[in-house]
Structure 1
Amino acid sequence: MNQHLSSVEHRSPNDIQKFKVAIVGAGFGGLATAIQLLKHHIQDFVILEKAQDVGGTWRENQYPGAACDVQSHMYSLSYAPKTDWSKRYAEAPEIFQYIQDLIQDFNLKTYIQFNQKVTRTRYDENTCQWHIQTESGDQIEAQFLIFASGPLHVPQIPKIKGIEKFKGEIFHSSAWNHDYDLKGKKVASIGTGGSAIQYIPEIAPLTQQLYVFQRTAAWVIPRDERAYNRLDKKLFAKYNWFRKLHRARLYWSNESRVVPIVQPKMMKAGQKLAELFIKYQVKDKTIAKKLTPDYIMGCKRILVSNKYFPTFNRPNVELVTEAIQEITEDQIVTKDGTARQIDCLIYGTGFITDPRIYLKSFECYGENGIELKQAWKDGAESYYGISTKGFPNLFQLLGPNTVLGHNSVIFMIESQVDYILQLIQTVDRTQTQAIVVKDQIQDTFNADLQQQFAGTVWQSGCVSWYQQDGGKNFALWPSYTWKYWLNTKTANPADYRFLSASRAVSTQVSEVSEDASKNVKTNLQSTV
């Protein structure tokens, strides 16, 4: 067994660390994988985390008002429940503490190496091993490599003419400067996405003037802000069946949201209520109209807030829909010639979602030296978002087409981790060294997957981060999550090639079921 180190200070750069499994990222996905590895008696693994602490999204996004759009009891691991959530939708500090509790409860810190930013990964076809390089100069070798770094973690910084001249304070919502006092300041916030609609209501009362720059209006629906009372928490803690029943109710309630997504006519009916919500909360009819999107609800991400729209009733808040022309030393100038003096600029512009770098900001070389970004030059594609052709023993969490627009991604992560464990166990059981999805299986899967988007609100004409140029949706799962769980519940060995260190294919395993590949299309069609 390997010596697990949470620090890299006392190790020679020339040492090659060897593990059975290497996990990149210590967010929900990485920690869920680690917990399941331990439950399956696999202790020979390491988690490589680029930062100084765990938490991923919930470590970095600590802006005012940061909270989850998924209910607390659904946004937690089913096998590591928290019974004392404070309210229906938890805020970032409480979620971050839950993650810290996971580290403590499962003794995971000993498996984590912090400040280990991965810069390059390469698969060796002769040994069936992955070679991993980090920014610190460390070399890691692992049989299996799991990307758990998440799809949204590289901040999107817009290019604005003259930004280099600005002498005020600038920061992105994911790198909030808590030392900068916004009281009495003139602040410009660019973007009206998921993060912006949460921090804007929180900072508006502090500022002398807040300018909200909106490129595209977002559909925002009410949030259930009710708190869990003492009795709720006591029942959740004492009766596991009661907690599970509550979680099940939340799950199926969320699943029902798929119906209007695949039936746009139903969504348009619900959209009328959302329009009334805007008119009810915003007093000025002109502003209310500017805040009302011109696309069908659900085409872009639906946001949840009770505080966002009323913020525009404040006299010190101005909604700006004119495009930005340039920035000077202390002003932001729009294309209509209006100049607004500002002390601080906040980017609420989200994260880079280019499908060619989906999940990574480092090089990844697979079979025949192909680089992952090159393999995905026409769009990110995998098999159930987990395995990618040409990249043996490489697995992903929340890979292409597994992000959700209606339910908890934690549910997806749990399904993916279970599937990955099956693949690892199958390699061990067959005494081979590597496994990779067959080209035809992945191609057929993705062709059928894209057909499922036809007629949904996601393909109704708007442009969203879910899509690449040309309109292909590379991000979302187009159906119910229970169907994803059902399809990934049992891994089919016939969908994969098995490799040995001599690069030979194990036909004995690969031909377990010759009819399996023929059935993939039928199975996929049954998911809608």
Structure 2
Amino acid sequence: MTGLDGTHVRVLVVGAGFAGLGAAIRMRRSGEDSFLVLEQADEVGGTWRDNTYPGVACDVPSHLYSFSFAPKSDWKRRFAGGEEIRQYLRSCAEEVAEHIRCGTRLLSAEWRQGPRSWKVTTNAGTITAGALVLASGRFSRPALPTLPGLVTFPGRVCHTARWDPRIVPEGARIGVVGSGASAVQAVPALVGRGAQVTVFQRSAPWILPKHDAAYGTAEQSVFAADDDVRRDHRAEIFDELDSAFEARVLGSTAHTELRRRAQDHLRRSIPAGPVREALTPADEVGCRRVLLSDDFYPAVASGAAAVEPSAPLAVQGRAVRAASGRTYELDALVFATGFDASRPAIASSIVGRGGETLAEHWADGMTSYGSTSVSGFPNCIILGGPHAALGHNSAVAMLEAQFDQLLSALASVPAGGVWEVRAEAEKAYTAMIDERAASTAWVSPGCRSWYRHGGTGRVTLLWPGTAQEYRRRFGVFHPEQHTIEQVALGSSC
């Protein structure tokens, strides 16, 4: 690894997943060449590099879960598997390979007034940058519950985001802790490989049919030969998904219809009785992410996957005791318990104006203006941060709007200039988010999810509107919401 001491770039990007790679490609194509992308891992890919568990796939259609400016015509399935997405990102990275530094971890980033505004310390040396782009993602820190006696368990133990390839499903008794998106993919895949699975479920999820299917060679050929057909296909998917935001609004006809569709899927798949009762959600539909699966319910109905409707409480050797009092003898234990998505993992290492860290600024939950900018942190853009996730559409659509905002900011503020969002703009944006979120299922009575801050209960991750609206309003830099000053390029750093 080449040392980076003394390096200066106009833009430093932290993270080489979807967000970081997309930003790099868009900057390169816009003519901006003074930038670096730091990636702490040995290869690019973000969450699709880290998650290799059986059954891993996307729940957003492939042609929309990819860059509009880097299309892929030969997706194998309507919903791509994890490995295909990983290979897609690796191919995208080739365009900006000379700008990427893998194996380079950010240790700290400190704002300093001047043309070399951000001083960034890494394990490969100290870099300065005019602007800092945080693209480290929200799914980088696996959440693991504390389980007394886990150290006594003799079998394999892992989180889905850190899959242990030494787990051999065939003939194994495997406990899967959790019932979210990763669990409903891993459980049927493990059953399909011969495992007997016990699902430890604190709360049942709402599940819709996925309707996954392979793209035939004829379809792939048409997409490759006719860009208009491929673009129209992508646009049709986008419009269909974006219209589903209305189903997250409490009291709407669309919300009632969403509940009915999910209930019908459960009733068609699981016979009446205790198992169906265990799989019937207690919270409002849309409170948490509505899952898509064609094979989770069949795996349970087959008897190869059993549902324990409570969390594991303690472990003694191979015996895992649930809160219900039931005990299960297991050979492997897999935690599908999600991530700590309350803020980027590096927030405590980002030091803004006056010495405040980003983590301190967000002590009561993430806030921003435009889901990208935070007062007190000049020349800093956060990709995929506060209120930039969607519960109904592709996160890539939001990222592409944020790439536009980044390029707009770089074009609006000359090199060496300083832009900083006004505190009142951040406050007003946050108040708007809170007001609009109040009418959604995300804040329905009894709703607890990773969408919300654990202390305040505020929705801090989701944008309460359509992706189309976000692009229209925030796909451009708004100078009137910022203070902007030009710093002489000869100023001392």
TM-score normalised by structure 2 residue count: 0.95
Indicate the larger mover: 110-119 or 486-495: 486-495
Partner in structure 2 of residue 518 of structure 1: none
- 1:459 paired to 2:443: yes
Q: Retained in 1: the 8 A contact 2:313–2:323?
A: yes
Q: In the alignment, which of 330, 346, 351 is matched to residue 334 of structure 2?
A: 346
5 Å matches for 1:182-201? Answer: 182-201=169-188
- 1:37 paired to 2:27: yes
Partner in structure 2 of residue 312 of structure 1: 300
- 1:202 paired to 2:189: yes
Q: What's the CA shift for 1:170?
A: 0.6
Indicate how the Cα distance of structure 1 residues 490 and 112 shifts in structure 2: closer, same or farther if over 3 A, else same.
closer
- 1:491 paired to 2:477: yes
Q: What's the CA shift for 1:294?
A: 1.2
Aligned residues: 486
5 Å matches for 1:85-124? Answer: 85-104=75-94, 106=95, 108-124=96-112
5 Å matches for 1:210-359? Answer: 210-266=197-253, 267-283=255-271, 285-354=273-342, 357-358=343-344
Q: What is the RMSD computed on CA atoms of the aligned residues?
A: 1.8
Instruction: Look up the equivalent residue of 1:465 and give its one-letter code.
Output: W
Alpha-carbon separation, structure 1, partners of 2:476 and 2:487: 26
Partner in structure 2 of residue 369 of structure 1: 355
Q: Retained in 2: the 8 A contact 1:57–1:153?
A: yes
Q: Retained in 2: the 8 A contact 1:67–1:89?
A: yes
Question: Could you report, residue by residue, the CA deviation over 1:173-223 in whole angstroms, capped at 9, with x for unpaired residues?
Answer: 011112331222221110011111101001024455321100111011001
Indicate how the Cα distance of structure 1 residues 399 and 208 shifts in structure 2: closer, same or farther if over 3 A, else same.
closer
Q: Is the partner of 1:419 in helix, strand or coil?
A: helix
Q: Is the partner of 2:239 in helix, strand or coil?
A: helix
Partner in structure 2 of residue 172 of structure 1: 159
Alpha-carbon separation, structure 2, partners of 1:500 and 1:123: 16
Q: Is the partner of 1:384 in helix, strand or coil?
A: coil
Indicate how the Cα distance of structure 1 residues 323 and 80 shifts in structure 2: closer, same or farther if over 3 A, else same.
closer
Q: Retained in 2: the 8 A contact 1:151–1:353?
A: yes
Partner in structure 2 of residue 132 of structure 1: 120
Partner in structure 2 of residue 400 of structure 1: 386
Instruction: Look up the equivalent residue of 1:139 and give its one-letter code.
Output: T
Indicate how the Cα distance of structure 1 residues 299 and 128 shifts in structure 2: closer, same or farther if over 3 A, else same.
same
Partner in structure 1 of residue 431 of structure 2: 447
Q: What's the CA shift for 1:442?
A: 1.2
Q: What's the CA shift for 1:361?
A: 5.6
Instruction: Look up the equivalent residue of 1:298 and give its one-letter code.
Output: G
Indicate how the Cα distance of structure 1 residues 252 and 326 shifts in structure 2: closer, same or farther if over 3 A, else same.
same
Q: What's the CA shift for 1:245?
A: 1.1
Alpha-carbon separation, structure 2, partners of 1:446 and 1:328: 47
Alpha-carbon separation, structure 1, partners of 2:167 and 2:386: 37
Alpha-carbon separation, structure 2, partners of 1:290 and 1:455: 28
Alpha-carbon separation, structure 1, partners of 2:116 and 2:486: 7
Question: Could you report, residue by residue, the CA deviation over 1:3-54 in whole angstroms, capped at 9, with x for unpaired residues?
Answer: xxxxx2x43x7x2221111111111111111111111211111110011111
Q: Retained in 2: the 8 A contact 1:187–1:210?
A: yes
Question: Could you report, residue by residue, the CA deviation over 1:96-123 in whole angstroms, capped at 9, with x for unpaired residues?
Answer: 111122123x2x2211111112121111
Instruction: Look up the equivalent residue of 2:91 and give its one-letter code.
Output: D
Partner in structure 2 of residue 149 of structure 1: 136
Q: Is the partner of 1:497 in helix, strand or coil?
A: strand
Partner in structure 1 of residue 366 of structure 2: 380
Alpha-carbon separation, structure 2, partners of 1:326 and 1:179: 24
Q: In the alignment, which of 404, 407, 414 is matched to residue 400 of structure 2?
A: 414
Q: Is the partner of 2:439 in helix, strand or coil?
A: coil
TM-score normalised by structure 1 residue count: 0.89
Q: Retained in 1: the 8 A contact 2:37–2:100?
A: yes
Q: Retained in 1: the 8 A contact 2:246–2:252?
A: no
Q: Is the partner of 1:452 in helix, strand or coil?
A: helix
Instruction: Look up the equivalent residue of 2:412 and give its one-letter code.
Output: T
Question: Could you report, residue by residue, the CA deviation over 1:434-464 in whole angstroms, capped at 9, with x for unpaired residues?
Answer: 1110111111111112111122222212111
Alpha-carbon separation, structure 2, partners of 1:444 and 1:192: 36
Instruction: Look up the equivalent residue of 1:233 and give its one-letter code.
Output: Q
Alpha-carbon separation, structure 2, partners of 1:180 and 1:409: 31
Q: Is the partner of 1:318 in helix, strand or coil?
A: strand
Question: Could you report, residue by residue, the CA deviation over 1:222-267 in whole angstroms, capped at 9, with x for unpaired residues?
Answer: 0121222222112211111111111111111011101221243421
Q: Retained in 1: the 8 A contact 2:167–2:332?
A: no
- 1:57 paired to 2:47: yes
Q: Retained in 2: the 8 A contact 1:212–1:318?
A: yes
Q: What's the CA shift for 1:69?
A: 0.8
Q: Is the partner of 1:113 in helix, strand or coil?
A: strand
Q: Percent identity?
A: 30
Alpha-carbon separation, structure 2, partners of 1:187 and 1:165: 16
Alpha-carbon separation, structure 2, partners of 1:470 and 1:406: 24
Instruction: Look up the equivalent residue of 1:227 and give its one-letter code.
Output: A
Instruction: Look up the equivalent residue of 1:285 and give its one-letter code.
Output: G
